[in-house]
Copies of this chain bind each other. A is one copy, B any other.
Amino acid sequence: MPHLDRTPAPVNNSPHVVIVGAGFGGLACAEELGGTNIRVTVIDRHNYHLFVPLLYQVATAALSPADIAEPIRRILSRHPNIDVVMGEVTGIDLAQRKVMLADGSFVPYDRLVLATGSSYNYFGHDEWAEVAPGLKTIENARAIRARLLMSFEQAEMCEDPARQTALMTSIIVGGGPTGVEMAGSIAELARHALARDFRRIDPRAAKVLLVEAGPRILAAFPEDLSNYARRKLEELGVVVLTGQAVEKIEPGGVTIGGRFIPAGTIVWGAGIKASPAGQWLGVETDRAGRIPVAPDLSVPGLEGVYALGDTAVLAGDDGKPLPGLAQVAKQQGEHLGRALEASLSRGEAMPAFCFHNRGNTAIVGRSAAVFDFGKRRLKGWFAWVLWAIVHVYLLVGFEKRVLVTMQWLWRYVTYQRGARLITRDAPASPLGQEAQPFVEPKRRQG
């Protein structure tokens, strides 16, 4: 058996860095500080680091939650100077330099790193969240998966063609990478994995609507890649509505352009807002709740407090704010970890962060992805293979990489999905279930 690492804990007068949030940024920062003489405490609400870019595959029954989540303790266990605390932060006592937790305990810090990420922004309609979940947590993904699969089950049990059509309609609000990935993946689920399994409905007739308020989907990408993604989605049968804002979301459907469209599954991917870290600090934030930071990622006016990733806003070389991407958070975490080590161990000054664009990507469907490297662009089958390689490579943990690769290969060959479970922790379709006699319903005829 593996023997216990008994390296003694660092002495108690070494500086203490507290990192709130074990997403891409917080984890990268902690890993850089691993093995140093600096004491580090990582606080997160969950016991796992979640690989959010693949969460849409959990929502569409392709992967299991555990395939894309790894215990934070296990990732950091080889560094005896790092403690992991599972807890909910409720505020920060700046005067006494303490992070307050929901259970009444606190963690004192010398340096504080806020890497708390973001949640979906419903633009003042928080009541929509229940009906149209975003895609940020495992619970979100399970809820969407259950609604999606349950809608097909309910349609199969149903006699009314209008209701069947409604149940088999999915509406995705927001044409960013998450919206595009969800729309493509739902369309493929219905056309392939479910196609043979029902007797009275034809899952291939399922409708998928992708609604974007702006003039084009994937607005962060060059226009030719946007157009390619739209064309590929349309080939998959997705209806792409651009320049159309959602007016209302209610159980059972969405109102767009004054017209009510009934739907069994509604997914929100239209905008994000930062976590409440700005409120904890009492600092002025931008409209999305992000904390403006100095080039060294410090929060101006607060000594020893840093913010990064989706929690922070910092202008890039082109003067525009850096985008809310995993690679930005990760690079900032690495940078800050190295800078804190140099500063605390050797008294060096904190250098400015500089973003290196490694390429922005989105996947549309089987054999179709887009890559934007700034000067170079890539689309199609090769971009899709590259997307898969990059995502497998970035997954934490060798076991996860092998399992995800195996499942993808199997899926590529068979068109099947491995995680088609409806479990009870997630509510069923917002359309509900009506009582009706079963009496010898008509089967679908070929």
Residues of A within 8 A of B (CB): 1-2, 4-9, 12, 46-48, 64-67, 69, 71, 73-74, 77-78, 80, 83-87, 101, 103-108, 138-139, 142, 149-150, 153, 156-157, 191-192, 195-199, 202, 204, 399-400, 402-403, 406-407, 410, 414-416, 418-426, 433-440, 443, 445-446
Bound-state Cα–Cα, A439 to B107, Å: 7
Contacts known (A2-B196, A85-B157, A410-B402); A419 close to B66, Cβ less than 8 A: yes
Closest to A204 in B: B4
User: Are B439 and A108 in contact, with the CB atoms below 8 A?
Assistant: yes
Q: Are A421 and B69 in contact (CB under 8 A)?
A: yes
Interface pairs A-B: 9 shortest CB-CB: A104-B435, A6-B446, A425-B425, A66-B419, A64-B64, A73-B197, A105-B438, A9-B443, A77-B197
**Which residues on B sit within 8 Å (CB–CB) of A4?**
195-196, 202, 204, 446
Report the Cα distance A313→B36, complex, angstroms.
Answer: 65
Point out the residues of chain B lying under 8 angstroms from A108, CB to CB.
439-440
Could you show 11 A-B contacts with beta carbons less than 8 Å apart? Answer: A1-B192, A4-B202, A9-B199, A9-B445, A48-B421, A66-B421, A104-B436, A402-B406, A403-B407, A425-B425, A425-B426
**A153/B47 in contact, CB under 8 A:** yes
CB atoms of B138 and A421 under 8 A apart: yes
Whether A438 and B106, one on each chain, are in contact in the complex, defined by CB atoms closer than 8 angstroms, is yes
Once the chains bind, are B423 and A139 in contact (CB under 8 Å)?
Answer: yes
A389 to B52, CA, bound (A): 35
Specify the main secondary structure of chain A where it touches its partner: loop
**A420 close to B71 (CB less than 8 A):** yes
**Is A446 a contact of B8 with CB atoms below 8 Å?**
yes
Complex Cα gap A445–B6 (Å): 7
Q: Does B403 contact A399, Cβ atoms closer than 8 Å?
A: no
Residues of B contacting A435 in the complex (Cβ-Cβ under 8 angstroms):
103-105
Which residues of B have CB within 8 Å of A150? Answer: 47
In the assembled complex, the Cα of A437 lies from the Cα of B108 at a distance in Å of 10
Chain B contacts of A424 at CB under 8 A?
A: 139
Most chain-B CB neighbours within 10 Å: which of A4, A6, A87, A139? A4
A179 to B39 Cα, complex, angstroms: 41
Alpha-carbon separation in the docked complex, A410 to B5 (Å): 21
How many Å lie between the Cα of A445 and that of B8 in the bound state? 7
**A103: shortest Cβ distance to chain B, in Å?**
5
Contacts of A85 in B (CB 8 A): 156-157, 438
Cα distance A6–B156 in the bound complex, in angstroms:
17
A403-B400 in contact given A105-B438, A138-B423, A415-B2 (Cβ < 8 Å): no
CA distance A150 to B86 in the complex (A): 9
Judging by beta carbons under 8 Å apart, are A434 and B103 in contact? Answer: yes
Q: Which residues of B contact A439 (CB under 8 A)?
A: 106, 108
- Please pick, from B47, B202, B415, the residue contacting A1 in the complex, using a CB distance under 8 A: B415
Residues of B within 8 A of A71 (CB): 197, 420-421
The distance from the CB of A7 to the nearest CB of chain B, in whole angstroms, is 8
Partner of A437, one of B106, B142, B196, B407: B106
In Å, the complex CA distance between A407 and B402 comes to 10
Cα distance A422–B416 in the bound complex, in angstroms = 28
Chain B positions within 8 Å of A407 at CB level: 399, 403
Inter-chain CA distance A433–B6, complex, in Å, is: 28
